[in-house]
Structure formats: structure tokens, C-alpha cells
Amino acid sequence: MKTAEVFWVSVGLFGQFLFFMRFLIQWIVTEKNKKSTIPVAFWFFSISGGIILLVYSIYRKDPVFILGQGLGVLIYSRNLYYIYKYK
């Protein structure tokens, strides 16, 4: 694998790791509260992982992945907007 390819695969894996962390955080908080809970950290991991995966998918020129991550980033941003608007 070329150096550039290793870099981009690393970027994609890092984005996927951040995206996975949102589920881990949500699971831990839910278990702690004994009820389904979505902490603010869930949305921060969602948006950071989503942005990195969007950049990766643009590099890969994958329209399905670009559409999915692009829409997700908009939704995560909107959720964070509402969380901080009403605090």
C-alpha cells in the first residue's frame, strides 16, 4: 500500500472509531441510569466521526457513503443546536 493510501485508510478507521464511541458512551450511560439515555457526548462523537467519515468518503468518491454521512452530519448538528439552544 502507498503512503497516501495508508494515511486515508487510517483516517477512515479513526472516523469509524469515533463513530463507534458514540454507541459505547450511550450504552454505558444507559446502563448506569437503567433507562435509555442519549448523552450530549453521543452527538459530539456522532458529528466528529461523521465529518471524518464524510471526508474519507469524498476522497474515495463514494456517492452512497457521501450522501449518508453528509445527511448524518446535518442531523447531528441540528441535535446539538437544539440541545444548546434550550439550555
Q: pLDDT tens track of the chain, all 87 residues?
A: 799 999 999 999 999 999 999 999 999 999 999 999 999 999 999 999 999 999 999 999 999 999 999 999 999 999 999 999 987
Alpha helices, H only, the chain:
3-33, 40-60, 63-85
Query: Is the Cβ–Cβ distance between 41 and 25 less than 8 Å?
Result: yes
CA terminus-to-terminus distance, the chain: 48
Report the half-sphere exposure of 19 (CA within 13 A, side-chain side).
16
Gap between the Cα atoms of 17 and 11, Å rounded: 10
User: Hey, what amino acid is at 85?
Assistant: K
The number of folded domains in the chain is 1
Residue 20: domain span = 3-85
Q: State the pTM of this model.
A: 0.89
